[in-house]
Every structure is written in C-alpha cells, then in structure tokens.
Amino acid sequence: MMTYYPSNPYQQPRQPVGLSTASLVLGILSMLGLCLLILVPLAGVITGHMGYRREPTVRGLSLAGLITSWVGLAIGVLFYAFIIWAIWFSVGYAENFDYSGLNDFA
C-alpha cells in the first residue's frame, strides 16, 4: 500500500514572473541595439510597469527591466533626433552651397 504525504503547508504558492522577465529581456534587447525599433524598448517599459505593479515578489527584476528599457528608449530617441538634425542640416547646407567654383575643374 502507498503512503501519500501532504505537501509542505508552509510553502507559499509561486507567484507569476512573466511580465517582469519579459521586461528584462526586452530591456536587454533594446540595449543590444534593437532600440532603433522604438517598439522594443517601449514594450519593455510597458511590461516593466505592469510587472512592478502586479508582481510584488520580483520587483527587482521588473525594476532592472524598466531601467534598461528606459535607457534603450532614450538612446533610440536621441539617435532618431540626430538623424533628423543631420538631414535638416545637410539640406540647408546644400541650398546655400556655392557651385560656381566647381566648373573650373571640368
């Protein structure tokens, strides 16, 4: 005859950690260069805030995801701002460029 032992009465049920883990993974991906796809760090920020609120046992994990996602989002926004500034500056420079001296070489 088999004897069944009860489970540990002091053991707490495991809390879900999906949102916090997703936030950290998305934050790491955004730091590795996917911040140029603004959606990756933005999704990391959203899941990080949701995980911070819904999963109190792993707040450190969601906080790390939030920090890396915000840094990735800032890098992506600064990159796009630099590209827009460079295009704006080059168009303004091309309009004011003096092309009269270029015919001397032909």
Average pLDDT per 10 consecutive residues for the chain, totaling 106 residues:
67 78 93 85 94 90 94 92 89 68 60
What count of Cα atoms within 13 Å lies in the side-chain half-sphere of residue 28? 8
Give the torsion sign (CA, 25, 44, 35, 61).
negative
Q: Which residues contact 58 (CB under 8 A, 6 or more apart)?
A: 15, 17, 20, 51
Question: So what's the pLDDT on residue 33?
Answer: 83
Q: Which residues contact 43 (CB under 8 A, 6 or more apart)?
A: 26
